[in-house]
Amino acid sequence: MNRIDLDDIDRGLLDLLGEDARLSNRALARALGLAEGTVRTRIKRLTDRRLLRFTAITDHRQHGNPEFAFLRLRTEMRMAREISTTLGGYKQLRTVILTLGNFNILAIGLFDSREEIAAVTGDFLANIAGVLDVEVSIVTASIKYNERTAKL
Amino acid sequence: MRERKPMAAGKDDFAFDALDWKIVGLLKENGRVSNQDIATRLDVPRASVSNRIQKMTEAGALRIVAAADFSAYDYSVLIALAIKVQGRAPDAVARDLAELPAIFAVHLVTGAHQIEALIAVHEFGELADAVMGSINAIAGIGHIDVCIATDVVYYNFDVGITR
């Protein structure tokens, strides 16, 4: 996460697109007082640099109402990175973050059922060498979630 | 027992059909693809593409977003908090936390603690100046377990959480 120099035009575009990702280049150009070509070039540059991505987010209920859970793993320190890569191979674990603190890895996953969470924490994680402890928190309600910023 | 927030009438019944999923698939690849392009690629009328996008969006089942990388807004510090609540309803504490701009996500959870929260700030100084003061002012926060993100290895966010 390095500091990146963006100017006011870039930030203006990010802010407007954050409100409405489907705004046309023409509408963006009008709002920011720019030429349409400038808007097109800037958006391309931002997406090429992986600072901006346009995507569609589907509500989890369209995927069969899965369980959303946070898993905190305590691991052998020197094996944390290797274990995090292994976790990424498991499709239910959508986000894997190396952390400093009481736990070494935070994984966030969407599971088909509570039984699947039990299977992952019991069989899968417990059998990965270097995993010492797993703490599971199952989400019952999401109060706030901001997908306007993400790790792209 | 699990609790889910009550949802707007009918939202729960909404289900994508095969054409909806095809449209969604193209939008996940590129959220700015035009309705005309989608119509051409799927060989359907443009009006039905826009109708379906509108229906999915209005049902709360689809959001087309522009996501900026954390670094584009200079967020260099990401912290996960596991919060134990004492003497107050966790839901009320979570709603107070959600008001803070630095709090990126707040979820109520089962387990050893009651709230999972993610904080994004530009630098560590911000934590002391703004964030901790505001968090400490919220009643009912008993204990916070902190994990500082050192590397985001995987991050997928194309399946969203109902709010």
Q: Does B154 touch chain A (CB under 8 A)?
A: yes
* Strand partners for B151: A98
pLDDT at site A81: 94
Which among B82, B81, B122, B116 has a CA at the least distance from the CA of B101?
B122
Instruction: Give the distance from residue B14's alpha carbon to the nearest chain A alpha carbon, in angstroms.
Output: 8
Answer whether A148 sits within 8 Å of B65, measured CB to CB: yes
Inter-chain CB proximity B158 and A56 less than 8 Å: yes
Write down the ipTM of this complex: 0.81
Nearest neighbour of A55 by CB, restricted to B15, B28, B163 = B28
- Is the confidence at residue B9, as pLDDT, over 50? no
Rounded-to-integer distance, Cα B1 and Cα B160, Å = 23
pLDDT in tens, chain A (152 residues): 445 688 999 999 998 998 888 899 999 999 999 999 999 999 999 999 888 989 888 887 777 768 889 999 999 999 999 999 999 888 888 889 999 988 999 999 888 888 989 888 888 888 899 999 999 999 988 888 777 766 66
- Host H or E run for residue A40: helix A36-48
User: 3-state SS string over chain B?
Assistant: CCCCCCCCCCHHHCCCCHHHHHHHHHHHHCCCCCHHHHHHHHCCCHHHHHHHHHHHHHCCCEEEEEEEEHHHHCCCEEEEEEEEECCCCHHHHHHHHHCCCCEEEEEEEECCCCEEEEEEECCHHHHHHHHHHHHHCCCCEEEEEEEEEEEEEEECCCEECCC
Query: What's the DSSP call for residue A89?
Result: T
Residue B24 scores a pLDDT above 60: yes
Percent of chain B predicted with pLDDT > 90: 48
CB A134 within 8 A of CB A119: no
